[in-house]
Structure 1
């Protein structure tokens, strides 16, 4: 049940090692090489692999979803900069477009389950409103998810995706992201275990009663902006994010001079501090959030770690729904 973590950011890798050492993430090996340098043979013996691991948002999300460490799962959220409206929008011509490298390893090693996410931009989701885009209108000129799904299907995977906001689980910001999941379609693979009920290989920890309870409460938690997972005891921490907002806004904006009327949550975002910004809008931040300042470079590493991560509690909801759909 060995776990493999891969990321090229030394600060994030050091962070991962600390989280592993304290037991907050599964024990495993942290590899700081580029994914371009990783060969399939090197991944033999690892039950779970997390590429673009950052500070461990995906393995933490799997824990929140009750996924056992014995289940062969890979995760990967390739860099979003090539497809973010806030970036240069070079698309597949960007050196940071690393989804093909991830899919190369998936096709060679054939993990039974694959999860990931990407910024929900037009370059990722494709044409909007029935109007086809042209290269002149969008330098990317293609749909990231269409290419991803086609490659996974060519490797005999069934693929599903959902465009989800962090606000759907009570966060004070939108953070719209496309989550995707894939399951291997082959004899003897995970597909043969779907009908095994509580004894199946994809059984959530805690048995069928817990799975039924999670399934029954899923829609309610997603629709309840004042609840979220924390009310169920499922989330202790979860302020991990990934990539800059597409429009440059922080999300969760409140107009006016006083944020007192803003909706509160009972989750991990239940007690934010509110900062009045230069555009006369109030924005929620974590209590005690530190400001950027000259001479304190360590803070940049922390902010980069938070900014490049996923929202684990939202990812956990997607994983739960995906696995329940396979039963």
Structure 2
């Protein structure tokens, strides 16, 4: 009788259990997605009790845990479980190398056939602007990515945007978090300084909101809908962003704004020109977010420009 009663005991459908596990996963505290070079997945100890409850829950818990895959090196992608191609939708990679001594090493995405998002954390102490070339292998997997989240590119010139548009043509969302930003007036990457703390966020949803050269190199991304910048800034500048309607700020450095925007005619003409910049065909929103940082903590030598810099460009997740 005991065996019969056990066999007749009602069981929840797998589909409902999957929804329960998904909801449980969403309630777990993350470990801070804005902290670079460490996993932001919930701790494995939060998932482990589910794996011990039943065979079905073990399978569902593993699926939820490996939805985000955290890799500390390209070797972490070489021998993954076969199920990863079904489970993993977001890949978080830590790239600590330098493009000054680039090795023939690629991050092989071949095992992640359902991949939709890639996050790459670079080492801000290293020159790394060209290392994104390592992440487009194989190309058919890279081309299906819909979201790219890149942290701490050392020199975010328009050339980086060109690499992105060539390697990831299917992007819908592009997020860049970095210390420097490209100034379209002096054509150099600069550390932003303002007179006072800027708003938490500036949003452009009717005009382009991008530096001109960024917009130009993102044009091939026909599906791109959102671009988000998170940049570092310091105080001591002469410009405030609290009256942004007069400037439509999109990365101009404080020195250029202090010198050139003093002329009301130039400022008015520059703002009108920015409204007419051609943008990627599907672009709907550009967001600028700000994080306060002391200039002494910015590793890059702000007075140095890499070889082949501004003038040349203007011419042309925890296993």
**TM score, norm. by length of structure 2:** 0.29
Structure 1 or 2, whichever has the larger Rg, is 2
